[in-house]
């Protein structure tokens, strides 16, 4: 029979799983409290990093419809619940793990799809959402500029052709 505290913890974790864009599971064995504090700061403001109990978190994940993480709930586990741009948090985890080899990324979920640790590292190599949107806008603006130049060239070419034809007709009319 679950205690009220455990039931409340499962309910809270279930809400976090449902409201997060991504959840990254890590092993934090060997990290100090100061290092964990530094890790929380490096994840960004749209992420929450919490040390979790494996059994309760597994129950909460299953209640949220995520069963792909079941085999990752072994050993000391902490979860990063990401509500903002997952790329920013993935970069923060990757960079922190480079400096602190005791942090091991186990895997996680991104928009309901299970990701391995390697896939999260690839996600960290992406540029942020804002940069990608700016590049897309720049590419679209460039295409619009090219299209405007083509459309503008057609009337001016027509005018030049008509002027050349008129001049040729005037020349032929004057030659007769």
> pLDDT tens digits, the chain, 176 residues: what are they?
578 888 888 899 889 988 888 899 988 888 888 888 888 888 878 888 888 888 898 888 888 888 888 888 888 888 989 888 888 888 888 888 888 888 888 888 888 888 888 888 888 877 767 777 887 888 777 777 776 777 777 777 777 888 888 888 888 875 55
Q: Quote the pLDDT of residue 17.
A: 87
Q: Quote the pLDDT of residue 139.
A: 78
Q: Quote the pLDDT of residue 101.
A: 87
- DSSP E strand stretches across 19-172: 22-27, 47-52, 77-82, 104-110, 113-116
Q: Quote the pLDDT of residue 175.
A: 56
The one-character DSSP state at 21 is: S
Q: Quote the pLDDT of residue 166.
A: 86
Which of helix, strand or coil describes residue 44? coil
Q: Quote the pLDDT of residue 93.
A: 87
Q: Quote the pLDDT of residue 92.
A: 86
Structure tokens at 36: 């964990």
Rounded Cα–Cα distance for residues 135 and 27 (Å): 35
Question: What is the maximum alpha-carbon separation in the chain?
Answer: 112
Which residues have C-beta within 8 Å of that of residue 26, sequence separation ≥ 6?
A: 77, 78, 79, 80, 93, 103, 104, 105, 106
Contact 17, 73 (CB under 8 A): no
Rg (C-alpha) for the chain, rounded Å, is 29
Structure tokens at 133: 């949107």
Contact 113, 61 (CB under 8 A): no
Contact 28, 103 (CB under 8 A): yes
Q: Quote the pLDDT of residue 68.
A: 82
CA atoms within 13 A on the CB side of 51: 11
Rounded Cα–Cα distance for residues 73 and 51 (Å): 12
Q: Supply φ then ψ for residue 64, to 5 degrees.
A: -85, 0
Write down the pTM of the prediction. 0.67
């Amino acid at each position: 029979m679950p205690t009220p505290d455990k039931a409340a913890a499962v309910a809270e974790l279930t809400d976090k799983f449902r409201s997060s864009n991504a959840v990254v599971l890590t092993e934090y064995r060997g990290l100090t409290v100061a290092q964990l504090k530094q890790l929380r700061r490096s994840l960004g403001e749209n992420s929450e990093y919490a040390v979790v109990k494996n059994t309760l978190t597994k129950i909460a994940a299953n209640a949220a419809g995520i069963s792909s993480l079941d085999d990752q709930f072994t050993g000391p586990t902490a979860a990063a619940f990401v509500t903002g741009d997952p790329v920013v948090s993935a970069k923060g985890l990757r960079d922190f793990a480079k400096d602190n080899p005791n942090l091991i990324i186990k895997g996680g979920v991104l928009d309901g799809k299970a990701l391995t640790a390697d896939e999260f590292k690839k996600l960290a190599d992406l540029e942020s959402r804002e940069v990608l949107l700016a590049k897309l806008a720049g590419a679209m603006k460039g295409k619009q500029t090219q299209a405007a130049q083509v459309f503008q060239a057609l009337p001016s070419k027509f005018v030049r052709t008509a002027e050349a034809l008129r001049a040729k007709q005037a020349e032929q009319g004057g030659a007769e």
